[in-house]
Structure formats: structure tokens, C-alpha cells
Structure 1
Amino acid sequence: MRERPVPLSPGALARQGVDRVLLDAVIALVREAGCLIAAEVVRPGGPRGAGDKAEIDGEVEVMLHQGLTKLLPCDFVGEETGVQLTGHHYCWVVDPNDGTRDFLQGHLGSAISVGLLRECVPVLGVVYAPMTERGADCVAWTEGMPHLLRNGALIVQNVAQGGLAEGAQVFVSLAARARPTQNAELCAPATFYAMPSVAYRLARVAAGDGIAAVSLYAVSPHDVVAGHALLRAGGGGLWNEQGQALGYATPATFNQPVGYCFGGGEIACQELMRRPWQIVLADRA
């Protein structure tokens, strides 16, 4: 088994440079957690759970909660283990397996999402999809780094700032496969690409694979904080369906109401949010 990262004392953090040292330790911890998810996929009888609940999610979050708060003791918001807020300047925000429903149905692309807020601003993000069609994929960044890290390599890529164009991809939920014609029209002249995990959609946009990511399902901060940090690295952002920029009133709540969520460059997202997305939700019940 991969070694666990060594807890970092405040003095060590100050001497070594907190940002990159902490990021590397978080990546190591998240990759270890990803091994648990990958093992669950090949478990005899398949992954445990049903609907939107998988047993591995809770197990991974407990591991991450323990490991992250040893690396940097501060507040914590998790999908599975709840909210622990004391007013600390920093807060970990975690989704242990974003895309659980699709994961339990055997689809690749669920992702571990670990973000760090400093006074409600995303300053670190790690999104790790341990099993995708392209293999394991880890996108990471911390404030102060000029570029993202993808699978250990620096990538010089800013979020695409133009509008929708031919050849560009818009990442949408896997449910889009059931309404291909409508989704194609909504994303035109770009094309749509359906995949699990809004966190991983945002990460791939931040890495330059697509121009925008869309979620038509209610999201919570634990779904998007890590991806939001990655988008910040390249000049992107998040918006709701009203065109309001999304931030965090607290580590567990948005500063604006969220029905739909659009992430990427502002021009493309503004174009997308004006489209009639309700047509693909008509049969969703």
C-alpha cells in the first residue's frame, strides 16, 4: 500500500512553503483513497450500495477527513460525515466519490473532490478520477502556482475564454445520453460530451479539454469547491442560471441560489445559460 503522507507541523509548513508542500501531500492522500474506490469496482458482487448511496463513499471520506485534518487542522465540510465549522480561516470541502449513482451503475468517471477554502475563497483543489476511459486522471492546483498539475506534470493551459465554437466540447451529465438531439442543439455549435461527476467535468474544463461544464442538478459546495479552485487557476469561474457568479457565504453554503450550474470561461457560460435547458428535464422525475 502507498505510504500515507507525513503530517506537517505549522513550523515545517512555514519553512518548506505551505502551498506546494501541502498540495503534494493532499495528492498522495487522494490517490491512496482512489485505490479504495478502484478496488470496490472489482469487488466480488460489485460495489456495495444502491441509488445515490455507496458504502465506499463513507469509508473514503473518513480516511480523507482524518488525513486532511492531520495535514492542516481546520474546519471540515463533507458530503458523508457532515459539517464541522468553528470559524477557522481554512476549511476542507470534500466529496469522496462524486457521481455515486453512475458509479454504482458501472459507469467510469466518478471522482474524489478535495478543495480548500481560505475565508470562503477556493485556494486549493484536487480532483481525482481513479477510473476513466483515459485511465486514472488527477488535476490539481494551489494558489501561487502559475499552472495546473495533471498527473504530476505541469500543464500550461488557461480556461478557454471565447464563446461556443465548432470543435469545442461542453461537458454535461451522463443523463444527456437519453436526450442527444436536444443536448446537441443546446450546446451548438460546440458538441456535448456526457460524463459522470460535475467535479471531474469542471476539472477537465480547467485542464483545457472542454470549453464549459454544465450541471442541471442541484449542486452543493462539496461538489464544486475543488473544481472551482482549478477554474480559478486559469481565469474561469462558476455561475448560476441567472448569470450570477457563485462563491460561498459559508464553507457549506453558496452566496447565491443555485438551480443550474455553469463552469468555465464567462463568455461560453453566459451563452449556455441563455439556452432553454428545461427541455431536457421534461421527463426527469
Structure 2
Amino acid sequence: MICLALLEPVIETVLSAGTLLAAEWERPDGPRGHGDKAEVDAEIEVILRKGLLAHLDCDFWGEETGNYLTGHEYCWVVDPNDGTSDFLLGRKGSAISVGLLHHSVPVLGVVYAPVTLDRGPDCISWAEGSSKVIRNGREVGSRLGHMSLTLGSHVLVSTAAVNKPELNAELCSPADFVPMPSIAYRLARVAAGDAVACASLVPVSAHDVVAGHALLIGAHGVLLNQDGLPVLYNDEAQMAKVSERCFGGAPEACKSLARRDWGRLF
């Protein structure tokens, strides 16, 4: 299968690009940039674009270097540094996100967080044809299909959740809520078995979620929008704005989370 054959070279390309993101943490004056724009983001995407198109010459949807859409059956979808705002605030866990769509369906995903709070460099990947999600070179047995929100399980949410802990605890109950940067990395960690579900409560684009969506497919999970319906990538409008809110992970957990009144947080 073409996707399975691509997985290892794509991982190598992403890991190589990740050295630039890790190096930003070592700068004496911290990462370059401000707000939600870091200079390293575009630098990484230039490298990824060249490498990925060398692996498979097809359409390309990037956050920093623009989009090239011709109707090709395959499309690379790239975020060079998902979680830039948190990254520039010194919060560990932003991630490179590389996904591949085939006829608008996610078939490959690689999410790499070079600098994390609790795991060190963390690369999570899957491609159509793989029986399991791969984490740092090892298969993981995560299976989300029959999981649900239970006492002791975790829901991964954005770092903003620390500002309203009581309400987030209520909305995620009976699971615990765990704040962390990057919806791409949250989706990846759910697919790898660290949590039952995750959420983004702000609008997302394809580059934010396609790679993580692929990982969820590999772990028998789902990605739902604010109405509890599957996230789709059928046209440019959907790619530009995938959803107002999204919930990824175990199907029953995501359906339950989508029905809750998250508007109370705002």
C-alpha cells in the first residue's frame, strides 16, 4: 500500500524538521516571534513541503506556505508548529503535524512534539495498512472503540482551561481534564492511549487536525464537530474551516462531550 510505504520516509522528514523546532528552545532570548506567529514555523514548512512532495508529488495544504489544489487524489496537509501561541509563551508540547488525504479521507498521520513537559521527544504515527498506531518506533495497543468517559479517565483540553478549572471539571466529568497545548498533539496522545478524548473549543482548519484524525482512525476513534457529526474535508471551504469545535477520541465519549454546553466557558 502506498501509504504504508510512505510512512517511514515521512517520519524521517518530520523528525529532521523537528530539530529546528527543538533548537528554538535553546536560543538565549527564547523562540523568535510574537503572538501566534513564530519565525521558525515558515522555515519548517519550507523543509516539509520540499521533502513531502519529493515523497509523493500531489496537492498540498499548508498553514504557512499556501495551498496548491488541483483535484489530485492525494493531498498533504501540514502544520509546521501547531500550538504556536503556547510555544512562544514557553509552554512545552507544540507539534509538527503532517497528514495525507486520499479522496478527502485521512490515510496517514505523523505528529511530532520535539519538546514536551512529561515525555521528552514524542512522535506518534499511523498509515492506512498499519494494524496499530506507532509511538517512537513501537506499536501501541490503543483501541478507542469501546471506551467511554469514566472516573479516572482523561480528557485533554487547551491550556486556557486552567483559567476556569471548576467549570472544565464539570464539563469533562466523570473524566478528569488535562490542559496542554496543540490540538494536533492532543489528538495524537488520545490515539496513543493517554486519554479517552480531547477537545478544541475554537475553530480549526484542516492543517490543525488531519494528521491527528488519521491517528484516531488507526486507534478506532472518531473526530466529531460541534454538532456531533464526523469532520469532513470534501472541499476548500471545509478545509479552511473544519469545525467551530471538535472532539476526538472514543466514539461514545466524543458524542457525550459534543452534547455538553461548552458555551458556558465563554
**Match in the other structure for 1:212:** 197
What's the CA shift string for 1:242-268, capped at 9, x where partnerless?
111111113662599621111111110
Unaligned runs of 5+ in 2: none
Alignment of structure 1 residues 126-275 onto 2, 5 Å: 126-133=110-117, 134-159=119-144, 161-250=146-235, 253-254=238-239, 258-275=243-260
Q: Is 1:74 the counterpart of 2:88 in the alignment?
A: no
Residue identity matched to 2:248:
G
Whole-Å separation in 2 of the counterparts to 1:54 and 1:173: 19
Match runs of 1:15-26 below 5 Å = 18-26=2-10
Gaps of 5+ in 1: 1-16
Determine whether 1:116 maps to 2:72.
Answer: no
Letter of the 1:79 partner, please give it: E
CA RMSD of aligned residues (A): 1.5
- TM superposition shift of 1:66: 0.5
Identity among equivalent pairs (%): 56
TM-score for both structures, normalised by structure 1: 0.90
TM-score normalised by L of structure 2: 0.96
Q: Which amino acid in structure 1 is aligned with residue 202 of structure 2?
A: Y
What amino acid is the match of 2:73?
H
Q: Distance in 2 between matches of 1:135 and 1:271?
A: 32
Query: Could you tell me whether the CA contact under 8 Å between 2:224 and 2:246 is conserved in 1?
Result: yes
Q: Which has the larger radius of gyration?
A: 1
**What is the aligned residue count?**
265
SS of the aligned residue for 1:88 comes to: coil
Contact 1:111 1:199 in 2 (8 A): yes
Moved over 4 A (4+): 254-257
Take 1:203 and 1:251, find their aligned partners in 2: how far apart are those partners?
Answer: 24
Post-superposition Cα deviations, 1:204-239, rounded to whole Å, max 9, x if no partner, equal: 111111010100011000000000000011211111
Residues 162-207 of structure 1, C-alpha deviations (whole Å, 9 max, x = no match)? 3210010000000001111110111111000000000000001111
Give the match for residue 29 of structure 1.
13
3-state secondary structure, aligned to 1:208: coil
